[in-house]
Amino acid sequence: MGRAFEYRKATKLKRWGHMAKTFTRLGKQIAIAVKAGGPEPENNPALRSVIAVCKRENMPKDNIERAIKNAMGKDQSDYKNVTYEGYGPHGIAVFVDTLTDNTTRTVADVRSVFNKFSGNMGTTGSLSFLFDHKCVFTFKKKDGMDMDDFILDMIDCGVEEEFDEEYDEEKDVTTITIYGEPTSFNAIQKKLEADGFEDVGGEFTYIPNDVKDVTPEQRETINKMVEKLEEFDDVQTVYTNMKPE
């Protein structure tokens, strides 16, 4: 396995601390998908992808349907994806991905946490050299599937050669996770769906291209900063280049 997948396995793609937070995040993503392509999943690839992620996160069907209905309302706020970046304690790079309908509020909230932990926010793009932006898809593996042939077939769509395979004993299902460049998102999703893969859920992620060692005490402080950032509803994901335990 390569760096991206070793990092993913070590961190379990830690993003959201509890179920309510996860559902809030997914609800906003549904709103964006519906406004961009309509409320019918069969005619909206982005919405199909978000719904697949909702199912993987065990979001109830009623919650999904309510989020779609709310997104169609005239009073529904328009969300924007805004990222904030900077350095937290002990020189650790911190990347904050948000969905917000009020950037003034969001930047003030994020800045307050950076200040509290003696960090410094940078300008947009200042940490781009430390993180690789990727799209990531997770889906059910077919019986008898030859992964070498599959990856070879997907390379033309922008998929990287490495993949992650995980078996869920409780559900008796094996899932495959693949990565690609963000610009390849639509091509990868279209190809996976055309090939008949079930519950194709795609997202975007940031993976540090170099991780930094920290002491247990430093890790505790950095984790506290991340937890504070994750308390804000606007915050979707917090990434750092701290080496996983």
Could you give the percent of the chain with pLDDT greater than 70? 90
Domain final residue pick, 54, 71, 88: 71
pLDDT (tens digit per residue) in 16-25? 334 457 888 8
Residue at 164 is within a domain: no
| SS3 category, 223 | helix
H or E stretch covering 218: helix 216-230
CATH code of residue 213: 3.30.70.980
Helix/strand/coil (H/E/C) assignment for every residue in 94-148: EEEEEEECCHHHHHHHHHHHHHHCCCEECCCCCCCCCEEEEEEEEEECCCCCCHH
Nearest to 210 by CA among 1, 5, 7, 11: 7
Residue at 200 is within a domain: no
pLDDT of residue 75: 52
Candidate ranges 108-117, 136-145, 162-171, 202-211; pick with highest mean pLDDT: 108-117
> pTM, whole model, 2 decimals?
0.79
- At 76, the pLDDT band (50, 70, 90 cuts) reads low
| SS3 category, 29 | helix
pLDDT (tens digit per residue) in 84-124? 999 999 999 999 999 998 999 999 999 999 999 999 999 98
Q: Encoding tokens for residue 24?
A: 């809030």
Domain final residue pick, 71, 98, 119: 71
Residue at 232 is within a domain: yes
pLDDT (tens digit per residue) in 36-58? 889 999 899 889 999 999 988 88
Number of domains in the chain: 2
Angle at 161 between CA 158 and CA 163, to 5 degrees: 105
- At 179, the pLDDT band (50, 70, 90 cuts) reads very high
- At 10, the pLDDT band (50, 70, 90 cuts) reads very low
Q: Above 60 in pLDDT, residue 224? A: yes
Tell me the mean pLDDT in the region 212-225: 95
pLDDT of residue 58: 87
Residue at 52 is within a domain: yes
pLDDT higher for 60 or 76?
A: 60
Q: Above 60 in pLDDT, residue 14? A: no
pLDDT higher for 13 or 96?
A: 96
Rounded to 5 degrees, φ, ψ at 179 are -125, 155
pLDDT of residue 8: 52
pLDDT of residue 18: 41
Residue at 204 is within a domain: no
Q: Which domain holds residue 30?
A: 3-71
